Structure 1
Amino acid sequence: MENQTVSMKKVLIIAGAFCAFWIGSGFATGQEVLQFLSTSGAAKGITGAAIYSLLLGFFVYTLYGLGQKMQFSNPYDFFEYYCGKHIGQAYTWFSVVLMYGIYVVMLAGAGAIIQQYYGISVSTGTYCVAILALGTALLGVEKLIDIIGVIGPVKIVFVLAICIAALTVLVQQPDLLAVNSALIQTAGFPTASDNWLWSAILWAFLGLMFGSTFFVISGSACKSPKEARISGLLGVGAIFVAVVLLIIAEIVYLDVIKGQQVPTLAIAKHVAPLLAMVFAPVLMVCIYSSVASILLVVTRKFAVDKTKKFNLIAAALTVVGMFTGTLLPFDQLVNILYPISGYSGIALVAFIIYKEFINKNAFPFEKPGNEQKK
């Protein structure tokens, strides 16, 4: 029988860590929500947010529980658990490359924020966030989760702040949401796909590929499968609320976000200069915590955290990411990489469903012994 130990303090920390990991540059800047949901208008966008959250909730429930039960010595082993040795290895390496690509996208987001608000070069923001994230990743999994677990709720509060301003505008102009919902669909913003429903589903698959190893790592830090699953679902619930409110804010402030690399910062600046003054560094913290998490997850493929090998590889990956993160504009990087990532998750979902619900004995997995720290 499964251990059912649940610590509410631990649940809140793990849920907060999920939010901190999830609200990276794509989400916090508003580009991700804009390209996947807001461009479809309010009704379709919010319905898409619900579908996205239900699918993401299933992925989180499954992988948080698996991580706690299996306690993988290497989080990437879950691919072999679901897909077998050969396909699992292919997915492992694809995931590593994908995660590192998203790491680069997030560093580009940091540069875009610095440039848009402070007027400083893109490279400055990119380099600063990369170095701070490296320092945090070197502290190890447990310390990273403790740090970003506190940052997560702060992110949610500041995202909600600009959304509350949008709701205030709607009270005064109740027809604005309907009018701008029609206009945003022809405003020329890049979109993840031409179909709103497929965009929502694709975003959920992106979430699976983006977050799978982090889900497994977070689950392993819990004391019971129940504690792990509650933590993950609480985090998904908080993200759902933030997504819905952000869709409303972007549609209400359509004229404000046109031509902006960082829609949320443009809205904050429009609502109140003081809010923007606080929001800009908060966005940087959002990206920093996600970048640190991704760097740790990618490096864990090659070495155990807090070892000399881990530190050297993490430093090398940081140096490469610092320079490649300035090659393409941020919105172009999001539009290229994120949809591709979503498509790659479709087959993985099929493997998960097959083993969880059809044949639990498929692809027998023998957990290797714990890696030795060097």
Structure 2
Amino acid sequence: MNKKFSIASMIALCGACISFYIGAGFATMQEVVQYEASYGSLFPVVILVAAIIYVYTNISFATNGNRLNLQRGGDIYETYCGVFGKKFGKIASVFFDYFSAFFCYMSFVVMCGGASSTVAQQWGLPNGVGAVVLAILVIETTIFGLDGILKSLSKIGPVIILMILIVSIITAISGAPDLSSNIAAVDSGTYSDVMKQVGRGNPFASGASYGGFVILWFAAFLAEIGAKNKLSEVNSGMGLSTLFIFGAAGICCMALIGHIDVTAAADIPALVLAAQISPILAQVFAIVICAGIYTSAVPLLWTGVRKVADEGTRKYKYVTIVGGILGCVIACFVPYKGLINVLYGLNGYLGFILVFFMIIYDVKTRMSKKK
């Protein structure tokens, strides 16, 4: 732990955070539509709220995971919930631990649904083909455990965010002449019948939900990474990822609203934007979306499996295989847009409750240190 700060390690950890965050919802821009672009002129409020939550919670996860040297990331819930006493803390921590593992697994199902929709929309392949291919790749990667996952994600994340930025910047520029009028149309509710919205018209609630659902994605993942790596590198990498993720989200919103007439009702708005530039780019971007889905699906499945099995064991391999296959089957029969809206929204609000526990714990810890 006393080794010198490594810029290469920081960049790798930044790439891993980006890869984890940019899954099916972000890469397809469907979650950007529902959480942010649907708020028109108020989308910056949603982004700001979500970014603040992302930074605070992830620093807290990594810092406490490192300080307590946690052996399993999911143990972080007992740490936070214990501020209200051992009995309540135990009950609450068990709930969050199991619910977050279940939610991460169901989010893996969402990733399978995103892959299925992307492949069907772009290449006209039968429903389920994308889900099957994704499930096979994710199962193979997850079996290698956390170290193997980090190596895979750290290289793919920067490439994905770069491609998203290229498409978003170009289409934001081409849609700039219509941006003001389209923002007014979104604000007036013109597209409310085809554009799902999280938060029911409250941008703060949407931002809290958006930041909240990521909390339970990152909690066990970053707590364990924080325990196994140099803390300054983890926090610096996570901070750098914030600039890329939420900067890209802002540009995506402008691009989506600039072309709102064709993106509002689309299952995969990102492909619609890419097609505005070039049909060939749309083909390339479909592959990028699939890569983004893969990079989130791997740690999500890992988090769910890790709750019930230790890495390296025969049980871990069996649960990974069975869980991957089951998630693929579910994704083939449940609508993708409905999965995102209901699952992410519910989890976001529960995740925000955890923030309350976290703040109290971190304040108490800091005060005791000063004493």
Query: Would the TM-score normalized by the shorter structure come out above 0.5?
Result: yes
CA–CA separation in structure 2 for the residues paired with 1:22 and 1:227: 18
Partner residue in 2 for 1:167: 172
Unaligned runs of 5+ in 2: 83-89
Q: Deviations over 1:346-366 (max 9, x none)?
A: 22111111111035699xxxx
Partner residue in 1 for 2:199: 193
2:334 aligned residue (314, 328, 333): 328
Partner residue in 2 for 1:29: 28
The secondary structure found in structure 1 opposite 2:276 is helix
CA–CA separation in structure 2 for the residues paired with 1:244 and 1:259: 20
Partner residue in 2 for 1:268: 274
What residue identity is the alignment partner of 2:157?
Answer: G
1:210 aligned residue (217, 238, 242): 217
Please, which moves more after superposition, 21-30 or 298-307? Answer: 298-307
Partner residue in 1 for 2:179: 177
CA–CA separation in structure 1 for the residues paired with 2:228 and 2:294: 21
CA–CA separation in structure 2 for the residues paired with 1:303 and 1:54: 33
Partner residue in 1 for 2:19: 20
2:308 aligned residue (285, 302, 316): 302
CA contact (8 A) 1:68 1:228 kept: no
Give matches, 1:354-365, under 5 Å: 354-358=360-364
Instruction: Determine if the alignment matches structure 1 residue 147 to structure 2 residue 152.
Output: yes
CA contact (8 A) 1:208 1:345 kept: yes
User: Once the 2 structures are TM-superposed, how far is the Cα of residue 40 of structure 1 from its aligned partner?
Assistant: 0.7
Instruction: Determine if the alignment matches structure 1 residue 119 to structure 2 residue 124.
Output: yes
Partner residue in 1 for 2:77: 79
Partner residue in 1 for 2:39: 40
Partner residue in 2 for 1:371: none
* Number of matched pairs: 356
CA–CA separation in structure 1 for the residues paired with 2:305 and 2:366: 30
User: Once the 2 structures are TM-superposed, how far is the Cα of residue 167 of structure 1 from its aligned partner?
Assistant: 3.2
CA contact (8 A) 1:79 1:88 kept: yes
Partner residue in 1 for 2:10: 11
CA contact (8 A) 1:7 1:227 kept: yes
Q: Deviations over 1:192-229 (max 9, x none)?
A: 02212211122111111222112213323422x22221
CA contact (8 A) 1:40 1:196 kept: yes
Instruction: Determine if the alignment matches structure 1 residue 158 to structure 2 residue 163.
Output: yes
Partner residue in 2 for 1:238: 244
The secondary structure found in structure 2 opposite 1:111 is helix
The secondary structure found in structure 2 opposite 1:122 is coil
Partner residue in 2 for 1:91: 96
CA RMSD between the two structures: 1.7
* Poorly superposed stretches of 4+, deviation over 6 Å: none
CA–CA separation in structure 2 for the residues paired with 1:318 and 1:190: 28
Unaligned runs of 5+ in 1: 363-374
User: Once the 2 structures are TM-superposed, how far is the Cα of residue 317 of structure 1 from its aligned partner?
Assistant: 0.4
CA contact (8 A) 2:45 2:203 kept: no
Give matches, 1:245-256, under 5 Å: 245-256=251-262
CA–CA separation in structure 2 for the residues paired with 1:33 and 1:348: 23
CA–CA separation in structure 1 for the residues paired with 2:353 and 2:296: 26
Q: Deviations over 1:277-331 (max 9, x none)?
A: 1101111111111111111111111222232111011011011101001122111
Partner residue in 2 for 1:348: 354
What residue identity is the alignment partner of 2:121?
Answer: Q
Cα 1:268–1:349 shift into 2, 3 Å:
same
Higher helix share: 2
CA–CA separation in structure 1 for the residues paired with 2:367 and 2:141: 39
